[in-house]
A and B are shown apart, each in its own frame.
Chain A
Amino acid sequence: MAGTIIPRRFVEWLSGLLLLAVAYGFALAPARAEAQAGSVTGQGAAAAVTTTTSAQQFAPAALPNAGGMADSELASVAVPSTLSADGLASITTGQLDQTLVSATTTAQAANVNVLSGLITAEAVLAVATSYANGVTATSESNGSALVGLVVNGVNYADVPPAPNTQVRLPGVGYVVLNEQLPAGDGVHTTGLTVTMIHVYLTDAQGAPTGDIVIGMAKSGANL
């Protein structure tokens, strides 16, 4: 498998870039003082394209503060020379109970083509799940998948790459596969953002110029 595991501090830098670039801002679990009653968060997008001048999300879904369910689907998307895909869907569900708060978000797309074939995948699925029971708080990405992934001519097996696998894309920037951004104290709060394909676009000097996201799922629980 091609790719490398990127350092933690680089992930933090990426996280900051995300906040600037797209409306994926993930409010991490609130402080403990606000967490007595518990809270739940969930957000998903099947795809997103952000440039210095615009930001687009495809099949986005955001969980209501009270929990429940939200979903969105899109038969296909085509951003010329940037992104095409079909079967786009995201679903987020969550529930606040006195002894358990949980949230799950899935985001998926099929027949993905990024940057005119630089990256292709038959199926992309991000799954983020968080639990908090007042004693422990955990999140996981189990169920996430990249099927038929090809990056810059390199085929990947139908298993998710290791979290935060970075692959350079000469002249374009780089891509992070199975990007995972955890949050929370692991006791009362937890959160996880899973982005299965995250292309960071840079200029010749390495400055960010935009990004392309395929399969982004976030979940958070606080109790």
Chain B
Amino acid sequence: MVCKQATLAGLRGLVAVALLAVACTEPAGPDRGRVRPPELATTAGSGIALDQWNGTLSESGFELVKGFNPTNPHTGDAIIATFFWIGPPGIITSVTDFLASVPNTPVGNTYTLVTSASANGVSMATYVATNVQNFPSGLYNPTGEQILAIRATLSVPVADGGLVISAWTGVDPVSAQALGASSSASGVGFGSTVADPGAIPINAGALAYAVTMSNGVVSFSARPEGFTNLTTASDLFMQTDAEYDAEFAVQGDAGTVDPRWTWNFGLVPSTWLASVLALNPAPPPPGNLTVTTTTSGSDLDRDGYTVTVDGTNSLQSPTNGSVTFAGLAAGSHSVALSDVAANCTVSEANPQMVTVPSGGTATVSFTVSCLASSNVGSNDKMTGGGKLGGGREFATFGFDARPTGGQLEWVQHCGNGATAGSATCQSGSFTFHGTVAAGSYSAVSGSPNCRTWSGTGSARFKDVPSKSGSYTFTVNSACDNGQPGRGTDYVDISIADYQDTGYLTGGNIQLHRGN
């Protein structure tokens, strides 16, 4: 056997046609075809399903044409049209569609040559149009009026030819994405001869469409395994010189397909042509993704956040609220929350992975917690020490506070011990050493010379020892109003229920404004 892939073999002197008509034997032309009852789409286990098909042989002249009588496919379908003829290759000048009316109405879908084969005077070519439009979708009309038909215009007349057309739902509407791999081959043999267009890779859920043609007096001893027969055709004139067989399979998993027929060519060497192509399924209907952000704490991030899906698709999100990404491809996506202020943290993993259901809505939540914002430069800091009060009740202090932390020492002296009614000596003398909480240091709104911060520490009470222990503290405001600090610089501090406020009676506070 001589086998040649996607190339032409030399012409043979005799072209014998034997089209095995499994499904139909059709006269040429949409208005000449045998009337077939409406057919239901055949689903093959995924999104791609056979909608309508038809076929014919015994055509001649400058056109090969056939309609989807009696029932139109549906708009959005992909149409595969394979033309067969006795004659040289490359004679199809155009493939067009039209509505079978008087006169014919051009429809205008684009048919792209996907693969072809020719050898020894027999030829075939397969065209595909995706997302076909502009015809009465699904129309059933036994009269043939307004039925979609496909026509190949030839540059030279042929003595015999035909075509098989099939319409498929669920194919990717974008041609460049729909068209998968394809392969064609031809060969010559006698006796039991394998026709193999070659193996092609195929995606999960894709349609594998395979067709073969022979010029021998033939029958099949085997058809491609795993494929479903679409049609096998011959005609009276070509009965002893050619026939074709079209098969299809919708793949569950990605892999390769390699359809093989075994022709029984007998003792006379005959030529075979074979093609296979893949059409990818339409992506599943998109879904939506709603991202909800909930923010709590102090100094919330007022300008909101940025939510980004898959690293590229971003929307602005409110501080508390939701945003919805519409039309996302079904499947897994990453969702990231960004533009979160430095004083705020996201509780959940960031980014999160979420599966968007086809036709549904997935939800993702981010919980953001904010501390008092560090609305100052990173190198902003305040140090100070000195005295508040006087006489028998005074406090001395020192602190070194900055956005990253620091420390505070506060010593309250009460000459009269614990004194009820005293602003600062109700619990008597104590010393307190505190640690400034990172992130708590910030400017005081409206007071550019002042800073505030907080933290925790331990206190040792002299007059009321039972009060000794750990406490939180807040420097509500410490202000550097110039030098000297006494009488101008200011401190307002709370340590648990203790509070002291006032201008320094000694010492100084120095603010370094950060960038």
- A residues engaging B (CB < 8 A)? 67-69, 71, 73, 75, 86-87, 89, 91-95, 97, 100, 102, 104-106, 108, 110, 122-123, 125, 127, 129, 131, 133, 138, 140-145, 147-148, 158
Contact (Cβ within 8 A) A93 B486: no
Using CB atoms and an 8 Å cutoff, list the residues of chain B in contact with chain A: 381, 383-387, 390-392, 394, 396-400, 406-407, 409, 411, 413, 415, 429, 431, 433, 460, 462, 483-486, 504-508, 510, 512
Contact status A71-B398, CB under 8 Å? yes
Question: Which of chain A's residues have a CB closer than 8 A to the CB of B386?
Answer: 104, 106, 127, 129, 143
Find out whether the CB atom of A73 lies under 8 angstroms from the CB atom of B411: yes
A91 touches B391 (CB 8 A): no
Cα A138 to Cα B406 with chains together (Å): 27
Known: A93-B400, A104-B384, A148-B415. 4 other contacts (CB 8 A): A75-B462, A95-B510, A104-B385, A140-B484
User: With A106-B386, A127-B387 known to touch, is A142 a contact of B398 (CB < 8 Å)?
Assistant: no
Interfacial chain B residues near A69, Cβ < 8 Å: 383, 385, 398-400, 406-407, 409
> Which residue in A86, A97, A147 is a CB contact (below 8 Å) of B462?
A86
**Across the A-B interface, how many residue pairs have beta carbons closer than 8 Å?**
129
Asked if A91 and B411 sit within 8 Å, CB to CB, the answer is yes
Are B460 and A75 within 8 A (Cβ)? Answer: yes
30 residue pairs bridging A and B, Cβ less than 8 Å apart: A68-B400, A69-B383, A69-B398, A71-B433, A87-B411, A89-B409, A89-B411, A89-B431, A93-B383, A93-B384, A95-B510, A102-B485, A102-B510, A104-B385, A104-B508, A106-B385, A106-B396, A106-B506, A108-B413, A110-B413, A123-B413, A125-B413, A127-B396, A129-B484, A129-B486, A129-B506, A129-B508, A143-B387, A143-B505, A145-B390
Contact flag A104-B483 (CB < 8 Å), given A93-B399, A147-B392: no
Residue of B nearest to A71 (CB): B409
Would B385 and A97 count as touching, CB distance under 8 A? no
- Among residues of A, the one whose C-beta sits closest to the C-beta of B401 is A69
**Which residues in B have their C-beta under 8 angstroms from that of A108?**
396, 411, 413
Interface centre among A104, A108, A141, A147 (most CB of B within 10 A): A104
- The residue in chain B whose Cβ has the minimal distance to the Cβ of A68 is B400
Decide: B415 and A122 in contact? CB cutoff 8 A: yes
Per the bound structure, the CA–CA distance linking A143 and B381 in Å amounts to: 24
Q: Contact at A68–B383, with CB atoms within 8 Å?
A: yes
Choose one: B406, B507, B512; the contact of A106 (CB below 8 Å): B507
Chain B facing A: main interface SS: strand
Say yes or no: B510 contacts A91, CB within 8 Å.
no
Q: Which residues from chain B contact A138 at a C-beta distance below 8 Å?
A: 484
* Residues A89 and B429 in contact in the complex (CB < 8 Å), given A106-B386, A131-B483: no
Taking CB atoms, residues of chain A closer than 8 Å to B396 are 89, 91, 106, 108, 125, 127
A123 to B390, CA, bound (A): 11
Q: A69-B385, A104-B386, A106-B396 are in contact. Are A131 and B508 (CB under 8 A)?
A: yes
Chain B residue numbers with a CB within 8 Å of A122 are 392, 415
- Across the interface, name the chain A residue whose C-beta is closest to B430: A87
Does A110 lie within 8 Å of B384, measured CB to CB? no
Which of A95, A108, A141, A147 has most chain B Cβ within 10 Å? A95
**Residues on A with beta carbons closer than 8 Å to the beta carbon of B512:** 95, 97
The interface residues of chain B lying within 8 Å CB-to-CB of A102 are 483, 485, 508, 510
Q: A95-B381, A97-B512, A127-B506 are in contact. Are A106 and B486 (CB under 8 A)?
A: no
Interfacial chain A residues near B505, Cβ < 8 Å: 142-143
**Cα separation A108 to B387 with both chains bound (whole Å):** 11
Please tell me if the beta carbons of B415 and A142 are within 8 angstroms of each other in the complex. no
Chain B residues in 8 Å Cβ range of A94 = 383
Complex Cα–Cα for A2 and B442 (A): 50
From known contacts A110-B429, A131-B483, infer whether A91 and B415 are also in contact, taking CB-CB under 8 Å.
no
User: How far, in angstroms, from A141 to B505 measured CA to CA in the complex?
Assistant: 10
Residues of B within 8 A of A106 (CB): 385-387, 396, 398, 506-507
Provide the bound-state CA to CA distance between A35 and B431, in Å: 36
Q: Find out whether the CB atom of B507 lies under 8 angstroms from the CB atom of A129.
A: yes
A125 and B507 CA atoms in complex are apart in Å by: 12
Report B-chain residues with C-beta under 8 Å of the C-beta of A89. Answer: 396, 409, 411, 431
